[in-house]
Amino acid sequence: MTGSVQQVVILGGGSAGWLCAAVLAAELGGASAEAVQVTLVESPDVPTIGVGEGTWPSMRATLHRVGLSETELVRECDAAFKQGSCFQGWVDGSASDRYYHPFMLPHGHGDADVAGAWLQHPEAGPFAACVGVQPRLCEAGLAPKQVVTPEFGGVVNYGYHFDAVKLGLLLRRHATQVLGVRHVVDHVQVVHSHENGDIAALATAQHGKVEGDLFIDCSGMASLLIGQHYAVPLRSEQAVLFNDSALAVQVAYDKPDRPLACATIATAQAAGWTWDIGLPTRRGVGLVYASAHMGDAEAERTLEAHLRATHAGEAAAAPRRIRFQPGWRATFWHRNCVAVGLAAGFIEPLEASALALVELSAAMIRDEFPATRADMDLVARRFNESFRYRWARIIDFLKLHYALSRRSDTGYWREHREPRTLPDSLREFLQLWRHRSPSRNDLHRNDEVFPVASYQYVLYGMGFRPTQQRAPREGELARARGCLQEADRLGRRLLGGLPRHRELIAHIRAHGMAPAQ
């Protein structure tokens, strides 16, 4: 077959399905004869996962590019701003054990060896707080932008916290009413194939066959097309990252005017960690844990204790339990089918990389969209290579948080440090980083999921120190020290110049933001 590729069928209406639909329709759709037509099929009987409330800054560009307004996002999705993550209790579990992985690069990163300069005097203060401003802004409850900052612009870098279900509804409305996406609400029962093994159509219960040239599997953990139909195996990562269960709950604020957190708070627990995400009207809280190390009843008690300790108000409902198999598909794009979102794989939500991978996947499908079926296998090969690399880096980066911990209170934490549980690539990185800071020689691809600075934030936040680091040359050191001083001055200026996060959100809800420039 060498036919043109114009009919895209997306199976699944969760965040992955609607993001893909909007990203493709916004730029490949339209009324011309060559335009791509996007159809999204979603079952009325299978609910979306309904969690996934923290994003990266990349989501700003994604939403802007598909034509959504940030004011609408704040008003309709209970959205707030996120400046990074705050890790509590990961290093040794002591009362003062707390560090930030902010979204901004260290001040002067790339121009000067800022990490090298900080390592000369780590006693000056935590790495993230010395090289940048965001830990101070988060501690003070401040927003990343001002009242007059236009949509999608920031004084400092930010992503979002939002209600995942409401985001799905907003994307659905925008995709169907503005971008021309066809929406079929029906349960897919059978997959029909061409003789060559390509998917020809999805047979639905009420709407007959939905035919297409390219099928995007966004069916969630069921992974109906890539996993079930094509039997592409899941590459398990459980031996590296043990967590396989979660409890999720929505809780009210005990007082409605509580400061609105501007970072996801990830607190280490006996056999996992809790996430705490502040939305304007409620918090989204959950425990991620390893069932081999913590029973379900103990998990519930752990979550309850966290809620009590953090002054949560009433829960909207009992916690929902979610099981997952940590891993990713050995192949994401097979024949005329590509998996995105949970259908492609899922590892615990530490560092919230899942939606970022959805954005990267949708963008690559859009940018490399094969004109004909004959071009598709080449695009598929490149896609698979890119995303295998990205998953491997995500595994390394998440494992870093555990491998460096000095906690010894449970077998869970001790086992996380055992060399047999570390990927070879991470072991090599750690060997290199004993002598020098992570550099762009280590992570040099375009669109690295986690940039070099992220590794520095976690390494030095977790207390890792190189053993024989070469001291920067005098001139280099002076330049880097200048950056540290500049970061400090900037931090003090912004502390006086940015509004409180909760106040800014209230202002935006009432008055909106100026349109993006």
Residues that bind ligand FAD (CB under 6 A): 11-17, 41-43, 46, 48-49, 51-55, 164, 187-188, 218-220, 222, 224, 246, 248, 286, 322, 324, 341-343, 349, 352, 354-355
Residue with tokens 């081999």: 292
β-bridge mates for residue 41, sequence order: 11, 184
Tokens of 88: 């509590």
The closest of 397, 395, 398 to 328, measured between CA atoms, is: 395
320 in Cβ contact with 249 (< 8 Å): yes
Tokens of 29: 């759709």
131 in Cβ contact with 119 (< 8 Å): no
Tokens of 327: 């891993």
The least CB distance from residue 27 to ligand FAD, in Å, is: 21
Three-state SS for 104-138 is CCCCCECCECHHHHHHHCHHHCCHHHHHCCHHHHH
Cβ-based burial of 211 (10 A; exposed 0-12, middle 13-18, buried ≥19): middle
Kind and range of the H or E run holding 265: strand 264-269
The least CB distance from residue 427 to ligand FAD, in Å, is: 27
The least CB distance from residue 382 to ligand FAD, in Å, is: 22
Query: What single-letter DSSP state applies at residue 151?
Result: T
The least CB distance from residue 219 to ligand FAD, in Å, is: 4
14 in Cβ contact with 341 (< 8 Å): yes
At 401 the three-state DSSP class reads helix
Instruction: Output 250 or 437, the one with its CB closest to ligand FAD.
Output: 250
The least CB distance from residue 190 to ligand FAD, in Å, is: 10
Instruction: Output 39 or 336, the one with its CB closest to ligand FAD.
Output: 39
Instruction: Output 13 or 370, the one with its CB closest to ligand FAD.
Output: 13
Instruction: Output 229 or 501, the one with its CB closest to ligand FAD.
Output: 229
Long-range contacts formed by 272-276: CB under 8 A, 24+ apart? 272/243, 272/299, 272/302, 272/412, 273/90, 273/350, 274/302, 274/303, 274/306, 275/54, 275/349, 276/306, 276/310
The least CB distance from residue 222 to ligand FAD, in Å, is: 5
What is the rounded distance in angstroms from the CA atom of residue 192 to the CA atom of residue 208?
12
Cα within 13 Å of Cα(415), Cβ side:
15
The least CB distance from residue 477 to ligand FAD, in Å, is: 38
What is the rounded distance in angstroms from the CA atom of residue 394 to the CA atom of residue 387?
10
What is the rounded distance in angstroms from the CA atom of residue 133 to the CA atom of residue 140?
11
Dihedral of CA atoms 164, 166, 169, 175 in degrees, nearest 10, equals -70
Tokens of 282: 């409620």
Instruction: Output 47 or 256, the one with its CB closest to ligand FAD.
Output: 47
Instruction: Output 82 or 136, the one with its CB closest to ligand FAD.
Output: 82
R_g of the chain computed on alpha carbons: 23
How does DSSP assign 352-395, residue by residue? --HHHHHHHHHHHHHHT--SBHHHHHHHHHHHHHHHHHHHHHHH
What is the rounded distance in angstroms from the CA atom of residue 65 to the CA atom of residue 141?
29
Instruction: Output 437 or 454, the one with its CB closest to ligand FAD.
Output: 454
At 50 the three-state DSSP class reads coil
At 289 the three-state DSSP class reads strand
Kind and range of the H or E run holding 431: helix 424-433
The least CB distance from residue 122 to ligand FAD, in Å, is: 30
Instruction: Output 29 or 54, the one with its CB closest to ligand FAD.
Output: 54
What is the rounded distance in angstroms from the CA atom of residue 30 to the CA atom of residue 37?
8
The closest of 466, 463, 400 to 436, measured between CA atoms, is: 466
